[in-house]
Structure 1
Amino acid sequence: MKITDSESIKNSEKELIDSITGELDWSAIEKLLREKHNIGLQDDVEFRNGDLTVFDSQIAYKLDFDVKITLSVVFDRKGNCLKLTAAGDEKERNIVEQEKTESETPDPVIDEKPADAGVNSIASEIAGMISEINNS
C-alpha cells in the first residue's frame, strides 16, 4: 500500500542534493584534491549525479562531478616519459617559471637534417619514432 507519490520523494531528494551541492566549499575541496592527488581544479566543474548512500555504517551523500584538468606529457624520441604534470600542480608552476627563464636562451638544434633531406626521409624518421613509441 503506497502512502505517498514516488515522484514527490524523487523531487524532494533532488532538491536536497541540489541544495547541498550549492553550498559546497570548493576551496576546501580543491585543497583536499591538491593534498591527495597534487592537482588543482579548473573552472568548468559540472555536476553529474548525486545520491544518498551508506558509508562506514552511516548515511552519507555521494556527489559525482565531471572535472576537467590539463595534463602535460613530455616524452623523448624513444617514447620514454620524461615528465607528467597536471595544471595547478605546484611543481608544474615551478617548471613553467623555469621554462620561461630557459626560453630566453635559444634552444639547441637537435638532429638537424640538411635542407635537401626531402619529405620522404622526414616521413620515414617520424614513422620510425612512432614505431619506437608503440613498441615501448
Structure 2
Amino acid sequence: MPHATFPTAPDEHALEEGDILAPRFGPDGLVSAIAVDADTGEILMLAHMNAEALARTLETGEAWYWSRSRRALWHKGATSGQVQTLVEMRVDCDQDALLLRVRVGGDGGCCHTGRRACFYRRVVPGEGGPRLVPVPEP
C-alpha cells in the first residue's frame, strides 16, 4: 500500500467546522483512537493510528492501529479473532482524536490480558497514595 496522506485544514474554521477529514497527527505521526462497543457504548480500548492505519481502517471497515511497542502496523484481531468491525468513526473538534464505534468478533474481548476491555481497573484515593481497584466485568 502506498504511503497514505490526508489533507491539512487550511484554517481553524475548516478544521473545526468543515467537512474534510484532516487529522492532526502528533509529532510522532500518531493520532489517538478510542474504541467503544457500538451497541453498549462501553469503552473497550485506547490505541493509536498512523496515516496508514487510518487509511486501512477506512478502506477495509476493520480497525487497524499502530503498535507503539512493536513499532508496527496492527490489524486488531488478525491473530486473536477479536476483529473490530467499524460501525462508525467520529473525529473530535480539532481532529486530533478519533472515536471508533465497533463490533468485536471472536470471543468479544479486546484486551491482551483476556478481558473484554482494557479499562478493567479504577483509581481510588487511599492512604499512601492512589490505588487500583478491579472493575467488575459486566
**TM-score in terms of structure 1 length:** 0.27
**TM-score in terms of structure 2 length:** 0.26
Structure having the larger proportion of residues in helix: 1
Q: Which has the larger radius of gyration?
A: 1
